[in-house]
């Protein structure tokens, strides 16, 4: 039973990591119908920014909590501006072009950012400081759930609740829902669609930045390539849960994380990816729009 | 002669006629294609004045720390040898190409180097990408010497008679690590993990074989992890459940540092033993305090060898830093190849092979020669442990 609980928490941890990135994918898809492949790179840039700020602040001797908050804030601001700029540069000009053009633009942006960071920083793996200290009260269960696991889980839950409140109960949320339903109509009723799209990108990028910082602290190392791999998994998770749906992104991520964890634990680590992607295929065969996705009805 | 001349004239006339029939854009394309064909032809002829030494390996990306020291070694030695007049009067010209340890890129690089006229090649660094490119080099009769590709099949299968290396193969390494775990540390339950790649899995399979053959220990787990994954806690939990006293890991330092970090975080008290892909200072830098007391095997420390000291000093003088992984092996490889070219008087593969197998060369890794399969005679491995943030050789 102990082993099951350990694997459960491993899976939840992994799922939470994917969820922080998957939320960004799903929000952007919901609004403009584009898979933002550059999102994984935003996560990576968030990790790098927090690394730089955390290193500087550690040298200056700031206390631990201040370092996390300031590094997180810096990462959020930096990544959000990247997200905003990417949208204006790579996606806005292609808003009326066929979907494929925007998709290719996204892939191109992803490669550009990877190589830009590679050249601007380094190809080496950089050691990321452990920003979240080992809490004493967690010591008895530290072998099941570590302090940073718990922080990631709590952050993801809080983020999901905040986002749901934002979408359902605020005016901006209403405008976002309207834009995703019918962009032209939203413009006609007076919603500034460009602003709403930019806000979506900014929110998605901020989440990715926070995710980047927390995961980097959890794993302990960063590299220009982490965005690509994490992005692929998170994108799979978002599709699994129903792309365009926020609870879907979190559910899909958790399902993916748990599947990988249990597949490793009970079958073999060799087949972890096989299980994860077979699950994706199965779910899409029986429910093409994902677990919580809504089938898109085209009004004619 | 006359017939050939007439046929040639007819051919030129035919081509010019067809050319004139094309519209402008097609004319431009045809002219450009023709120019490229003409320009490419003389390149092969220029190979005679210099000895073109190809240097291939990962020079960017996450494994660059394994490949760049070899480039430095080649540069330092090429400068030294050329300053002394070259080999048999010919200067060494370096053709440096980046393979990022990817098999597909390595084959593309091989094709490029051959068309650029490379005559001998230093590299590759990773067993997987080296294996992928070797057939291409073999078909063109080019000698390839690697300072770090340790997969045993590269020399033992007999498929690659143009391949040599200045490092002992993985089965020797695995044997050493297994003997260390069984005899020095006295463990009876060992988990073997690898990164599913040619190098890591090869090492792990040998480790498993030797462990089972010894009869002194049980292989409680044998699994592969996906390199680059975000989280390795599941495999660590599995290792914990298996009751392993030690984890033998085959693979490179990125995964090793993540696994070692996760092991300590999940309070797993097993020892970590790994291969020369992990005996790299980047492992200690990235894993930080979690790397403490980890074991890794690596080429025997030959730093007391005077040639080794001179080579390291040359690197410090040129690059203001200590050399990285496989520097001495690459330095020795270039010395061995240069000597072979001098003795053979050419870069013909068979002549070079004879020279390498019969000559003994003094190098930073010792006085070495090569056997008929391509392995170096006179190089070995030692086990190192991370103590206070540095790798210390255990005698």
Q: What is the pLDDT of residues B154-179, one digit of tens each?
A: 888 888 888 988 888 888 888 888 88
Q: Is the pLDDT of residue B148 over 80?
A: yes
Cβ within 8 Å, pair A143-B285? no
Q: Find, among B356, B326, B380, B361, the residue nearest to B169 by Cα.
A: B380
Does B394 map to a domain?
Answer: no
Does B387 map to a domain?
Answer: no
Cβ within 8 Å, pair A11-B234? yes
Q: pLDDT band for position B37 (50/70/90)?
A: low
Share of chain A above pLDDT 90, in %: 23
For A2, nearest residue in chain B (alpha carbons) = B241
Cβ within 8 Å, pair A215-B267? no
Q: Is there a single domain that holds both residue B186 and residue B221? A: yes
Cβ within 8 Å, pair B231-A146? no
Q: Is there a single domain that holds both residue B228 and residue B81? A: no
Q: In the predicted model, what is the mean pLDDT of residues B106-117?
A: 92
pLDDT at A270: 79
B243–A contact, CB cutoff 8 A: no
Mean pLDDT, chain B, whole residue set: 84
Cβ within 8 Å, pair B254-A124? no
Structure tokens at B112: 């490029």
Q: How many CB atoms lie within 10 A of CB A278?
A: 13
Q: Is the pLDDT of residue B247 over 70?
A: yes
| C-alpha pair distances (Å), A118 with each of A224, A225, A280, A282, B187 | 6, 9, 32, 37, 42
Q: Is there a single domain that holds both residue B188 and residue B83? A: no
**Residue A78 half-sphere exposure toward CB, CA atoms < 13 A:** 23
Ordered by start, the domain boundaries in chain A are 29-224, 240-293
- Distance (Å, rounded) from C-alpha A35 to C-alpha A109? 12
pLDDT at B55: 92
Q: Is there a single domain that holds both residue B56 and residue B157? A: yes
pLDDT at B47: 46
Q: Is there a single domain that holds both residue B139 and residue B223? A: no
Q: In the predicted model, what is the mean pLDDT of residues B113-118?
A: 90
B269–A contact, CB cutoff 8 A: no
pLDDT at B1: 62
- ipTM more than 0.85? no
**Residue A296 half-sphere exposure toward CB, CA atoms < 13 A:** 14
Question: Residue B326 belongs to a domain with what CATH number?
Answer: 3.40.50.2300
pLDDT tens profile A2-52? 788 888 888 898 899 899 899 988 888 888 888 888 999 999 999 999 999
Sheet-wide strand order for B361-363: B361-363, B366-370, B376-377
- pTM for the whole thing? 0.74
Q: How many A-B residue pairs are in contact by the CB < 8 A criterion?
A: 106
Chain B contacts in chain A segment 114-153 (CB below 8 A) = 118, 123-127, 142-143, 146, 149
pLDDT at A296: 62
Q: pLDDT band for position B46 (50/70/90)?
A: very low
Share of chain B above pLDDT 90, in %: 14
A216–B contact, CB cutoff 8 A: no
In chain B, the N- to C-terminal Cα span, in Å, equals 74
- B44: Cβ–Cβ under 8 A, 6 or more apart, which residues? B117
pLDDT at B45: 43
B261–A contact, CB cutoff 8 A: yes
Q: Is the pLDDT of residue A125 over 50?
A: yes
Range with the lowest mean pLDDT among A95-99, B287-291, B319-323, B377-381? B377-381
Q: Is there a single domain that holds both residue B142 and residue B177? A: no
pLDDT at A182: 85
Task: Write the secondary structure of B293-318 as one string of H (helix), E (strand) and C (coil).
Answer: CCEEEEECCCCCCHHHHHHHHHHHHH
Does B21 map to a domain?
Answer: no
Q: In the predicted model, what is the mean pLDDT of residues B368-386?
A: 83
Q: Is there a single domain that holds both residue B190 and residue B220? A: yes
Q: In the predicted model, what is the mean pLDDT of residues B2-12?
A: 72
Does B385 map to a domain?
Answer: no
Chain A contacts in chain B segment 304-343 (CB below 8 A) = none
- Distance (Å, rounded) from C-alpha A35 to C-alpha A14? 22
pLDDT at A76: 93
Please state whether beta strands B295-299 and B381-387 pair in parallel, antiparallel, or not at all (unpaired).
Answer: antiparallel
| C-alpha pair distances (Å), A248 with each of A96, A164, B297 | 27, 12, 47
Domain range enclosing B202: 171-275
Does B351 map to a domain?
Answer: yes
Cβ within 8 Å, pair B235-A264? yes
pLDDT tens profile B16-26? 777 677 676 67
Number of domains chain B is built from:
2
Name the minimum distance, in Å, from the CA of A261 to any CA of chain B: 5
Structure tokens at B373: 């399969």
For A7, nearest residue in chain B (alpha carbons) = B234
Q: Does residue B310 or residue A125 have the better pLDDT? A: B310
Does B6 map to a domain?
Answer: no
Does B94 map to a domain?
Answer: yes
Q: Is the pLDDT of residue A284 over 50?
A: yes
Range with the lowest mean pLDDT among A143-147, A231-235, B361-365? A143-147
pLDDT tens profile A57-74? 888 887 878 888 888 899
- Distance (Å, rounded) from C-alpha B194 to C-alpha B274? 10
Mutate to test the interface with A, among B234, B261, B286 (most CBs of A within 10 A): B234
Name the minimum distance, in Å, from the CA of B266 to any CA of chain A: 4
Q: Is there a single domain that holds both residue B149 and residue B240? A: no
B267–A contact, CB cutoff 8 A: yes
Q: pLDDT band for position B31 (50/70/90)?
A: low
Does B17 map to a domain?
Answer: no
Q: Is the pLDDT of residue B62 over 60?
A: yes
Name the minimum distance, in Å, from the CA of B231 to any CA of chain A: 6
Mean pLDDT, chain A, whole residue set: 86
Decide which of B275, B294, B329 is a domain's last residue. B275
Q: pLDDT band for position B228 (50/70/90)?
A: confident
Q: Is the pLDDT of residue B44 over 70?
A: no
Q: Is there a single domain that holds both residue B76 and residue B161? A: yes
């Amino acid at each position: 039973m102990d082993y099951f609980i350990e694997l459960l928490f491993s899976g939840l941890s992994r799922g939470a990591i994917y969820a922080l990135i998957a939320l960004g994918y799903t929000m952007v898809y919901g609004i403009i119908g584009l898979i933002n492949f550059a999102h994984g790179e935003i996560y990576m840039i968030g990790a790098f920014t927090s690394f730089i700020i955390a290193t500087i602040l550690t040298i200056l001797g700031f206390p631990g909590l201040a370092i996390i908050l300031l590094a997180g804030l810096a990462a959020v601001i930096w990544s959000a501006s990247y997200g905003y700029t990417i949208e204006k540069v790579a996606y806005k000009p292609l808003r009326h072009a066929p979907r494929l053009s925007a998709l290719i633009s996204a892939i191109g942006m992803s490669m550009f950012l990877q190589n830009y960071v590679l050249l601007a920083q380094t190809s080496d793996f950089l050691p990321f400081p452990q920003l979240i200290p080992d809490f004493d009260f967690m010591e008895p269960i530290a072998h099941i759930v570590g302090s940073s696991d718990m922080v990631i889980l709590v952050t993801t839950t809080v983020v999901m609740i905040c986002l749901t409140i934002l979408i359902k109960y605020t005016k901006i949320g209403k405008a976002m829902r309207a834009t995703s339903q019918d962009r032209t109509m939203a413009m006609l009723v007076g919603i500034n669609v460009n602003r709403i799209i930019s806000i979506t990108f900014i929110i998605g990028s901020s989440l990715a930045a926070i995710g980047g910082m927390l995961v980097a602290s959890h794993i302990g190392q960063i590299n220009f390539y982490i965005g690509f791999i994490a992005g692929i998994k998170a994108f799979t998770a978002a599709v699994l849960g129903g792309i365009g749906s926020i609870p879907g992104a979190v559910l899909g991520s958790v399902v993916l994380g748990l599947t990988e964890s249990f597949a490793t634990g009970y079958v073999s680590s060799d087949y972890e990816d096989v299980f994860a992607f077979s699950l994706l295929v199965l779910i899409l065969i029986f429910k093409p729009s994902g677990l919580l996705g809504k089938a898109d009805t085209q009004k004619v | 002669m006359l017939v050939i001349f007439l046929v040639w004239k007819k051919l030129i006339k035919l081509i010019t006629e067809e050319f004139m029939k094309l519209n402008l854009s097609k004319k431009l394309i045809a002219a450009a294609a023709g120019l490229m064909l003409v320009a490419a032809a003389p390149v092969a002829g220029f190979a005679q004045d210099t000895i073109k030494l190809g240097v291939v390996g990962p020079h960017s990306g996450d494994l660059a720390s394994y490949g760049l020291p070899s480039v430095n070694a080649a540069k330092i030695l090429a400068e030294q040898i050329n300053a002394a007049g070259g080999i048999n009067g010919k200067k060494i010209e370096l053709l440096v190409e980046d393979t990022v340890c990817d098999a597909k890129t390595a084959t593309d690089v091989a094709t490029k180097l051959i068309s650029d006229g490379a005559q001998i090649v230093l590299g590759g660094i990773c067993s997987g990408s080296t294996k992928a490119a070797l057939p291409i080099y073999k078909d063109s009769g080019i000698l390839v010497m690697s300072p770090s590709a340790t997969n045993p099949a590269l020399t033992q299968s007999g498929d690659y008679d143009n391949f040599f290396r200045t490092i002992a193969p993985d089965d020797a390494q695995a044997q050493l690590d297994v003997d260390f775990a069984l005899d020095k540390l006295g463990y009876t339950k060992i988990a073997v993990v690898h990164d599913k790649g040619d190098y890591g899995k090869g090492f792990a399979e040998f480790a498993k074989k030797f462990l089972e053959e010894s009869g002194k220990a049980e292989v409680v787990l044998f699994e592969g992890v996906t390199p680059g994954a975000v989280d390795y806690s599941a495999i660590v939990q599995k290792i914990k459940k298996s009751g392993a006293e030690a984890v033998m890991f085959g693979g490179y330092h990125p995964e090793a540092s993540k696994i070692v970090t996760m092991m300590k975080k999940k309070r797993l008290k097993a020892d970590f033993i790994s291969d020369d892909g992990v005996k790299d200072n980047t492992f200690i830098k990235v894993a930080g305090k979690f790397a403490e007391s980890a074991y890794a095997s690596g080429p025997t420390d030959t730093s007391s060898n005077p040639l080794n000291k001179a080579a390291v000093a040359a690197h410090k003088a040129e690059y203001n830093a200590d050399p990285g992984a496989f520097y001495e092996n690459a330095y020795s490889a270039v010395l061995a190849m240069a000597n072979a070219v001098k003795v053979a008087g050419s870069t013909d593969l068979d002549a070079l092979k004879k020279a390498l197998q019969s000559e003994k060369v003094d190098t930073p890794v010792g006085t070495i020669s090569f056997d008929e399969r391509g392995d170096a005679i006179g190089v070995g491995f030692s086990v190192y442990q991370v103590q206070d943030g540095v790798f210390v050789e255990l005698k």
